[in-house]
Amino acid sequence: MTDWVDGGLTVDEAIEFSKLLKAEDIDLIDCSSGGNDPRQEIPIGAGYQVAFAERIRREVGIATGAVGMITSPSQADQIIRTGQADVVLLARELLRDPYWPIHAAEALHLTPSYPVQYERAAAHRPNRREPFTR
Ligand SMILES: Cc1cc2nc3c(=O)[nH]c(=O)nc-3n(C[C@H](O)[C@H](O)[C@H](O)COP(=O)(O)O)c2cc1C
């Protein structure tokens, strides 16, 4: 979306490029940003790239993914509910907790969707802590 430096890619340019991608039947834009120049002063913080996803979605009319320091279930939920993006993409938080989607669903009082092979361990099963029996 941007290189965060004068002379680098700008969000306006990313929008124009996204329009070309949409015309080529691309489905979704992952709205990340560059990290390639020592002059960068990136305002890093929670959801610092989400505004890019919102702008591309609104101005290009294409599905977007928000990425970058999205870590909590409520934060992710709000991004989707307020229409800032169509999906949230997590990297480091999923390294810290590979079961984040299941934990997030539980935190949001939703019923998580388990892979079939994992259903014996599902929280909504009353015997989840029991030894496996057929
Ligand atoms: C182990 C690891 C490898 C990554 N490799 C790439 C990569 O090859 N190319 C890329 O554009 N971003 C890469 N990223 C950046 C992620 O795609 C993502 O944009 C970034 O980690 C911010 O999201 P997060 O705050 O959820 O981690 C990598 C991140 C991690 C943690």
Tens of pLDDT, residue by residue over 68-119, are 999 999 999 999 999 999 999 999 999 999 999 999 999 999 988 888 888 8
Q: Are the C-beta atoms of residues 29 and 54 closer than 8 Å to each other?
A: no
The best mutation among 4, 72, 92 to test binding of ligand 1, ranked by most ligand atoms within 8 Å of the C-beta, falls on 92
Q: How far is residue 107 CA from its own chain's centroid?
A: 17
Which residue's C-alpha comes closest to atom 31 of ligand 1?
A: 92
The Cα–Cα gap between 119 and 131 comes to 14
Is the CB–ligand 1 distance for residue 91 below 6 Å? yes
CA of 81 to the centre of ligand 1 (A): 24
CA of 132 to the centre of ligand 1 (A): 38
**Residue 93 Cα distances to 10, 45, 72, angstroms:** 27, 14, 9
pLDDT in tens, 41-75: 999 999 999 999 999 999 999 999 999 999 999 99
Q: Which structural domain, as residue segments, surrounds residue 50? A: 11-72
Structural domain includes residue 55: yes
Instruction: Report pLDDT for 124.
Output: 63
Residue spans of beta strands (DSSP E) within the chain = 28-31, 63-67, 87-89
Structural domain includes residue 41: yes
Number of structural domains in the chain: 1
Structural domain includes residue 53: yes
Instruction: Report pLDDT for 115.
Output: 84
Structural domain includes residue 116: no
Structural domain includes residue 26: yes
Instruction: Report pLDDT for 134.
Output: 47
Is pLDDT above 80 for 123? no
What would the two tokens of residue 80 be? Answer: 């989707």
Which residue's C-alpha comes closest to atom 5 of ligand 1?
A: 91
- Based on its alpha-carbon atoms, the radius of gyration of the chain, rounded to whole angstroms, reads 19
Q: pTM, whole model, 2 decimals?
A: 0.87
Structural domain includes residue 20: yes
Instruction: Report pLDDT for 116.
Output: 86
Structural domain includes residue 18: yes
Structural domain includes residue 111: no
